[in-house]
């Protein structure tokens, strides 16, 4: 047995083997504008900017689609989102699964939690419009 193989075997046997290195989670948030309508089928689109505490920044396009017992029209300006489970800003991109309850008239408020694998996103915002119901569907973030 070679010397390096012997040292490796001793390291494994004594527990000194290197543990896998994982990127630490970074804090990322998103500011966004979103507008849409619903009449059983729900659709919305908008844009946003994701910023992270490590200096990364990414402009995103937002599309949301779904269905449920929902009806209305609304616009959200200066909404906020918080991501968890992020190791790199590119991990925010993709399709999230969402469920929400909402109600409002003139000044509408929404809060939604959604997930994409290990990545979670919590959205909050107020806006103008009217809406009522329970909706479900997808929320997609793409790089602009």
In a domain, 50, yes or no: yes
In a domain, 117, yes or no: yes
Residue 38 has a CB neighbour count (10 Å cut-off) of 24
In a domain, 14, yes or no: no
pLDDT band at 135 (very low <50, low <70, confident <90, very high): low
Q: Which domain holds residue 83?
A: 23-143
- Say yes or no to pLDDT of 123 above 60: yes
CATH number reported for the structural domain that contains residue 91 in this entry = 2.40.128
**Per-residue pLDDT, 38:** 77
- Say yes or no to pLDDT of 72 above 60: yes
In a domain, 138, yes or no: yes
Top-confidence residue, 1 or 135? 135
Please state, in angstroms and as integers, the Cα–Cα distance from residue 139 to each residue in 34, 38, 55, 74, 122, following that order: 11, 15, 25, 16, 12
Percent over 90 (pLDDT), the chain = 35
Q: Is 56 in contact with 110 (CB distance < 8 Å)? A: no
In a domain, 70, yes or no: yes
**Per-residue pLDDT, 76:** 82
In a domain, 37, yes or no: yes
Top-confidence residue, 18 or 90? 90
pLDDT band at 73 (very low <50, low <70, confident <90, very high): confident
pLDDT band at 124 (very low <50, low <70, confident <90, very high): confident
In a domain, 11, yes or no: no
In a domain, 4, yes or no: no
**Count of the separate structural domains present in the chain:** 1
CA distance 111 to 117: 20
């Amino acid at each position: 047995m070679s010397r390096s193989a012997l040292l490796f075997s001793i390291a494994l046997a004594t527990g000194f083997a290197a543990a896998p290195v994982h990127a630490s989670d970074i804090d990322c948030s998103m500011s966004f504008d979103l507008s849409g309508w619903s009449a059983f089928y729900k659709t919305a689109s908008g844009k946003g900017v994701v910023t992270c505490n490590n200096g990364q920044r990414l402009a995103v396009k937002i599309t949301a689609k779904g269905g449920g017992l929902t009806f209305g029209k609304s616009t959200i300006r200066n909404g906020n989102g918080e991501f968890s489970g992020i190791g790199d800003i590119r991990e925010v991109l993709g399709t999230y699964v969402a469920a929400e309850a909402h109600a409002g008239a003139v000044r509408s408020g929404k809060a939604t939690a959604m997930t994409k694998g290990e990545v979670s996103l919590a959205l909050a915002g107020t806006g103008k419009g009217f809406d009522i119901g329970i909706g479900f569907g997808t929320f997609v973030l793409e790089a602009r």
